[in-house]
Amino acid sequence: MIRCGRQEGWLAQPSSELENWAVLNGGSFNGVKCAVAGGDRGSGLLAIRDLKGGDEGPLLVVPRDLVISKEAVEVAAKSDKDLRELLEALGEFVQTTRGAVLTFLLYTATVTAARRSNYQLGSLTPFNQYIKFLPDELLPTFWTPDEVALLDGTSLQAALEAKQRSLEREFALLAEATQDVRWCQDLWWGSSPDASLNLSLDDWKAVDAMYRSRVLEFPGIGDAMVPCIDMANHAAGEAASALYETDGAGNAILLLRDGMDVRHGEEVTITYGDRKGACEMLFSYGFIDESMEDARELFLPLEMDDDDPLARPKDHVATVAPGVKFYKDDETGALKWRSEYVYLMNVNQEDGLEFAFAQTVTGERELQMLFHDTPVGSTADLLSALQKDPQWDVHHLRAVVKLSQLVEQRLNIISSLENGALTERRAKPTVRERCFELALRLRFLEGQLLMQAFVALEQERDELLNDSPVVREYLVKQASGDGSQQQHAELELDEDFT
C-alpha cells in the first residue's frame, strides 16, 4: 500500500511544502527552510539567512498537538472510532510508544488510501498530510539478500536477522488481532477490489523505518516523532548547530546553540546521539557518521558450549542478553567490555554452581540457581557472588580467554572477504552502490574496534597470568593433573599458554 502510494503520488509530497503545512497547523519557521541538503543527506533544514547563536529566537516551533507520541495517539482515538477499534483489538501491543505510533502511522496512511476508493474510514487530521512528507529511508531492513550478505561477520548481521524476525512476528500479530475488525478485513486483508489497499509486510517495515529513523527522546514528552524538527540531519558532538527542547507551553522548539553561527545556505543540524556506535547508526538511520574512526561500540552474541551439561538450565535462568558489549570509555578512550553472560557460560558444577526446583508462595515450582548452596536470583547476582569468591581471578581469566577466542573468530570472518570477492559482489545487479559503501565502512570500523579489543583482552589475560597468585596456584594444580578436565580445557590457550 505505502509503496504504491509513493509511486502513484497520493502518499508523497515535496519537503519544500512542509513549512506551509506547519504554519497552517500553528507551527512557525524562523530563518530556516526544509529543502534538499545535497549528497546522500536527503532533505534537511537550511538557513535562509545568516544565523547567529545567542541572538536568534526559536528556529522552529511545533505545537504539542502536532507531536506524535503515545499520548497523542490515545487522544486521537477518543474522537475516531475506527482508530479506537484498531487500538482495542491490538491490546498490549499498543501500550508501548513504538507500538502505538507504528499503528497510528499505518492507520493514517490507510485513511488516505481508503478515501481514494470512496471508503469512509476515520477522520482526516494534519497527520494525513505529514506522512506524505516522510522520505523512504534505505534502512538495512530494506536491503536485498545480496546486500545483507555484505554484512557477514559484523554485529549488524545478527541484529538485522533478529529485527526481521521481530517484524514478521508483529505483522502476524497485526493480522491475527484484526480478524474481527470489519474495516481491516475490507481494506487490509484482501476483501477490497483495490489491490493498492491490501497490506503486506513491506508496509509494516515502512512504518517501522519511519519511526526508527525519526523518533527523538524529547524533554517533557518522551519518545516521539516531532514534525519539522525530525527533518534536521545529524552532526556529531560540537558540530551540531542546534538543539531541541520544549517551551513553557509544552511546544517543541529548535534552538540555535549559543556561539554557533550558521551562514546562509548552510545546514542546521542536531545530534542523533554522540555515543551511538556505527552499527546502531546504520541500523536506525541508514548512514554512518563520517567522523567515526572506529565502530565506537559493538555487541557480539555468545552461545553456551554444546558439551555443557548445564547449558539448558543456565539459559533458562539468564536475565541478560546472551552476548558481550565492547565499547570505548567516554573519558579515557580505553577499550572496555561488559558481559554477565560470559561468566554464566563458564562457571561449572565443580565451582559450586547448582540448579534446583523451589516452591513459590503460590505453590508453583520454579528453577533456582545456587552458588555454593546460596540462591542467586539473576546473572548480576551470580557475577557479584563470583567476584567475592576466592577463585575470582580464575573465573575472570576464563571469561577473558572465551572473549579473546570470540574476537579472533570475528576478525577472521571480517577479513575473509578479499578484494576480489568484494568486487565480485559489488558487480551484482542487486547490490546498490550506497549499500555496498556502507557495508564496507561498517566492516572496516568494526574491524578496527575488534583489533583494539583483541589487544586489550590479551593484555588483560597476561596481567592475570603474571600477577595473580590464585591463577598461578590453579595452573600448577592443573599441570599436576589435579582439577577437572573441563576446566583445564576452558583455560587452555594452545601455544600462548605455554
Q: What is the CATH number of the domain that holds 55?
A: 3.90.1410.10
Supply the DSSP symbol for 264.
Answer: T
Joined grid coordinates for residue 154: 559484523
Q: Say yes or no: 484 and 395 in one domain.
A: yes
Residue 187: inside a domain, yes or no?
yes
Q: What gap in Å lies between CA 381 and CA 384, rounded to an integer? A: 5
Q: Within this chain, do residues 399 and 436 fall inside the same structural domain, yes or no?
A: yes
- pLDDT given at position 124: 92
* Residue 83 within a domain: yes
The Cα 386–Cα 61 span in angstroms is 53
pLDDT of the residue at 37:
82
Q: Which cell is 23 given? A: 504554519
Assess if residue 287 is contained within a domain.
Answer: no
Question: Is there a single domain that holds both residue 48 and residue 131?
Answer: yes
With contact defined as beta carbons under 8 Å apart, do 320 and 379 qualify? yes
Q: Are residues 313 and 218 in the same domain?
A: no
Q: How far apart are CA 403 and CA 397, in angstroms?
A: 10
Query: Is the same domain home to 22 and 104?
Result: yes
Q: For residues 141 and 137, what is the distance between their CA atoms, to the nearest angstrom?
A: 10
144 Cβ contact partners less than 8 Å away, ≥ 6 residues apart: 430, 431, 432, 435
Residue with cell 577437572: 484
Distances (CA, A) of 367 to 273, 288, 321, 344: 40, 44, 19, 15
Strands (DSSP E) contained in 98-251 are 216-218, 222-224, 242-246
Question: How much is the pLDDT for 481?
Answer: 65
Residue that is written with C-alpha cell 534538499 in the block? 36
Tell me which residue has cell 589487544. Answer: 455
Residue 459: inside a domain, yes or no? yes
State the pLDDT at residue 193: 67
What cell numbers appear for 315 in the block?
539459559
Among 312, 302, 308, 316, smallest CA distance to 378 is for 316
Residue 252 lies in a domain: yes
pLDDT value at residue 275: 82
My answer on whether 202 and 312 are in the same domain is no
CA–CA dist 330, 336 (Å, integer): 10
- Among 93, 90, 97, smallest CA distance to 72 is for 97
Check whether residue 136 and residue 84 sit in a common domain. Answer: yes
Residue 374: its H or E element: strand 374-376
Number of domains in the chain: 2
- Low-confidence stretches of the chain (pLDDT beneath 70): 191-193, 195, 418-420, 481-498
Residue 273 within a domain: no
**CATH number of the CATH domain containing 493:** 3.90.1420
Sign of the torsion formed by the C-alpha atoms of 16, 22, 23 and 29: negative
Q: Is 145 exposed, middle or buried (0-12, 13-18, 19+ CB in 10 A)?
A: exposed
Residues 7 and 92 in one domain: yes
- The reply to whether 103 falls in a domain is yes
pTM above 0.85, yes or no: yes
Residues 186 and 152 in one domain: yes
What confidence score (pLDDT) does residue 498 get? 29
Which residues, in sequence order, are CB contacts of 485 under 8 Å at separation 6+?
A: none
Report how far residue 322's alpha carbon sits from residue 155's, in angstroms, rounded to the nearest whole number. Answer: 13
Residue 86 · residue 107 · CB < 8 Å: yes
**349 vs 356: CA distance, rounded Å:** 12
Q: How many CB atoms lie within 10 A of CB 265?
A: 11
b/e map 359-378, b = 16+ CB within 10 Å:
eeeeeeeeebbbbeeeebee
* pLDDT value of residue 221: 85
Same-domain check for residues 390 and 462? yes
Q: Which of 277, 208, 300 is nearest to 441 (CA)?
A: 277
Q: From the centroid of its chain, how far is CA 312?
A: 28
Q: Residue 214 — φ and ψ, nearest 5°?
A: -130, -10
Same domain as 319, residue 246? no
Residue-level pLDDT at 390: 95
In the chain, the N- to C-terminal Cα span, in Å, equals 64
Q: Please check whether residue 460 lies inside any domain of the structure.
A: yes
pLDDT at 400: 97
Verify that 83 and 228 share a domain, yes or no: yes
- Structural domain harbouring 127: 2-268
